[in-house]
Amino acid sequence: MQLTSEEISAIPVLMTLRKVDVFLHFMTRYLNGTDAPDVLRQQTQSLAADLYRLANDILWIEEVLY
């Protein structure tokens, strides 16, 4: 299967959206009182690390997929 250039360009954006979606899930759990602040803090740190790593790996991801 060969992806189009538009599809390849969309992959980092979709990965970012997925990571933010997971964070919003935990934000909602915190706001509903399901999770403690330390869980939200951990998820915030995880999101920041993942977004940093993704930003540094975008060129590599696109290179591998082309």
Q: Is residue 51 part of a domain?
A: yes
Residue 39 confidence (pLDDT): 98
Residue 16 confidence (pLDDT): 95
Q: Is residue 4 part of a domain?
A: no
Q: Is residue 1 part of a domain?
A: no
Q: Is residue 7 part of a domain?
A: no
Q: Is residue 8 part of a domain?
A: no
- Smallest CA-to-CA distance from 40 within 17, 48, 12 is with 48
Task: Quote the tokens at residue 13.
Answer: 């954006």
- Smallest CA-to-CA distance from 41 within 32, 29, 53 is with 29
**10-20 burial code (b ≥16 CB/10 A, e <16):** eebeebbeebe
pLDDT along the chain (66 residues), means of 10: 89 94 98 98 97 90 82
Q: Is residue 20 part of a domain?
A: yes
**Count of structural domains, the chain:** 1
Residue numbers of the domain that contains 34: 13-65
SS3 32: coil
